Structure 1
Amino acid sequence: MSQIIKNVADFGMDTITLAGPLEAKLRAVKAAGFGQIMLAARDIVGHPAGHEAAIQAVRDSGLRVTGFQVLRDFEGLSGHLHRYKVDMAKQMIEMARALGAKVLLACSSTSPHATGDLEAIARDLRKLAMLAIPHGIRVAYEALSWGRHINEYHQSWAAVELADCPNLGLCIDSYHVLAAQTSLAYLDDIDPDRIYLVQLADFMWNEVRSMQERIDTARHFRVFPGEGVHSTPLSDLVLRLDALGYRGDYSFEVFNDDYQQLPLPHVAHRAWESAVWLAEGVLRRSVPLPGRMRLRHLTAPT
């Protein structure tokens, strides 16, 4: 990779971190040095010139699409609710295909109408994955830490294993792992080839004392890795995934109200420094480019 250290190229940004129009987000992310972008449905359907213009803007950017998000509350429903969600899933899959996204993110249900029966959950996930197969799309199932029945990643893995579909795997989100204080030992039971995406973020306090605080922190107060107070467990997660054999993408999913009020280049640069810290300071597999100054590391909080 001519201008990007290989390990740093494994990291990308998520558009949810940035304010402004889609084209400006894409330019800022690329100018910061990233080669990939995680897109949300609202980036596409909310474009003032229509979804086709949004799709063309993504194609013109030259950025690889890490994935497309997010399908919510899909599994465990029945009757007309299930049929409605199947229709929504088909539309999401079509948009993902048009964008060139190879991964569709689906997060565990929070619906009070959803069953907790694992076989029913697995059956629905299998149906979702089968819908995606003709389009060459993999489905990454993520456990929200406030999910009604599936709220830790080893539970989502149990559902994925039971579904037993070749294009169905996991998304692991560090925020939910940290907030729920889920043991990393469960990673040893997971096939690394079935981890399709890892989303990374930190936050600024040591614990969340209620479910509502957990949700509010997730939606408004995440920060980039290396900026919060969980640098050590976050580093442990990345190193453990690396040792497991995971070689896929890492995306910074950082919901932060403050970042929404800052210039795009400033926020994208903060993300780039986080990627450098993880790639060079944590994974330690990269080599400085010839004739270039060594990129500055973030100082991890103590």
Structure 2
Amino acid sequence: MSQTTQGNFADFGIDTISLAGPLEPKLKAAREAGFSQIMLSARDVVGHPDGLDAAVAAVQASGLRVTGFQVLRDFEGLSGHLHDYKVDVAKSMLDLCRRLGAKVLLVCSTTSVHAQEDREHMARDLRKLAMLAVPLGIRIAYEALSWGRHVNEFPQAWDVVLRADMPNLGIGLDSFHAFATKTAADELDLIDPYKIFLVQLADFMWQEIRSVEERITTARHFRVFPGEGVHSAEVADWVLRLHRLGYRGDYSFEVFNDDYQQMPLPTVAARARRSALWLGETVLRRSVPLPNAIKLKRA
């Protein structure tokens, strides 16, 4: 790879959720595919058969930079003992971030039926979370789940972030959720690029998702890497828009796919590598793909 391509490739990482098997082989596959960063899932760390210390040691030994840690769910909008319980969970996850060297904790918008719709309440809760994270040097990325109860599109998440007004609280963007809700890409232009703390990229194989149930099923079982699905042009547009906006942070491939869970790790990691090269060589170098070349090239 050229020096320019290497620089662009380094912007992209893979999520351990995208790979099957134990933590160490996942780290090895990502590294051997050429990635320099990894997004960690809590279940890969706390579920390590030799315990948390062994998981932390494996991450450190891999030489991979930790893009971030996921995911804190159903945090905002609660009251009373439910709120206290979630604050306790959040403290535990922040401590895991600290131990793993993760500088970003991903928080997904709540799906809880017990959460209040009041955005000022949500902002207050996220402000408290961000304050807990300040002494640890951790940033909080708030992401809109496309089936979130009150926040299900990223402009809504951005509104809550603005209301909370904390320097270490920003937004996490996920292309899958935006494509699933058909949120206009123009809305990206309204976000401060310095408050975008993480961008997760994925595609899927059909044009339209007709129900919330189908949205959840697709998200959890049928995502594909950028360039492999039918939204390649939209993925390219997203990355270019973010680059023009001034975003220079990390991109991570978050691909839940049952088929990939049955493939050898090097095979799946190689698919992720092709996506990173496509985005780095073609998209970020501002090449304009021909209509019949917009799809990711196969090796």
Equivalent residue for 2:137? 136
Change (3 A) 1:235 1:2: closer
Equivalent residue for 2:20? 19
Unaligned runs of 5+ in 1: 287-296
2:39 alignment partner AA: M
4+ residue stretches of structure 1 with deviation over 3 A? 1-4, 297-301
Alpha-carbon distance in structure 1 between the residues aligned to 2:173 and 2:121: 22
Secondary structure of residue in 1 paired with 2:6: coil
Equivalent residue for 1:54? 55
Change (3 A) 1:300 1:204: farther
Equivalent residue for 1:299? 296
How does the TM-score come out when normalised to structure 1? 0.94
2:179 alignment partner AA: L
| 1:299 CA drift (Å) | 3.2
1:144-165 Cα deviation digits (max 9, x unpaired): 0100000000000000000000
Secondary structure of residue in 2 paired with 1:58: helix
Unaligned runs of 5+ in 2: 288-293
1:171-219 Cα deviation digits (max 9, x unpaired): 0000000000001111121110000000000000000111100000000
Alpha-carbon distance in structure 2 between the residues aligned to 1:235 and 1:179: 16
1:248-291 Cα deviation digits (max 9, x unpaired): 000000000000000000000000000000011111169xxxxx
Alpha-carbon distance in structure 1 between the residues aligned to 2:118 and 2:296: 45
Alpha-carbon distance in structure 2 between the residues aligned to 1:169 and 1:264: 32
1:90 alignment partner AA: K
Secondary structure of residue in 1 paired with 2:157: helix
Alpha-carbon distance in structure 2 between the residues aligned to 1:204 and 1:300: 16
Conserved in 2, the CA contact under 8 Å of 1:192 and 1:246? yes
How many equivalent residue pairs?
291
Structure 1 vs Structure 2: percent identity of aligned residues? 68
Equivalent residue for 2:290? none
Secondary structure of residue in 1 paired with 2:166: coil
How does the TM-score come out when normalised to structure 2? 0.95
Equivalent residue for 2:230? 229
Secondary structure of residue in 2 paired with 1:187: helix
| 1:90 CA drift (Å) | 0.1
2:273 alignment partner AA: W
Secondary structure of residue in 1 paired with 2:7: coil
What does 1:1-302 align with in structure 2 at a 5 Å threshold?
5-284=6-285, 299=296
Alpha-carbon distance in structure 2 between the residues aligned to 1:4 and 1:94: 35
Change (3 A) 1:299 1:3: closer
Conserved in 1, the CA contact under 8 Å of 2:274 and 2:296? no
Alpha-carbon distance in structure 1 between the residues aligned to 2:129 and 2:152: 19
Alpha-carbon distance in structure 1 between the residues aligned to 2:90 and 2:4: 37
Secondary structure of residue in 2 paired with 1:7: helix
Alpha-carbon distance in structure 1 between the residues aligned to 2:296 and 2:73: 36
Conserved in 2, the CA contact under 8 Å of 1:129 and 1:139? yes
RMSD: 1.7
Conserved in 1, the CA contact under 8 Å of 2:232 and 2:295? no
2:20 alignment partner AA: A
| 1:4 CA drift (Å) | 7.0
1:11 alignment partner AA: F
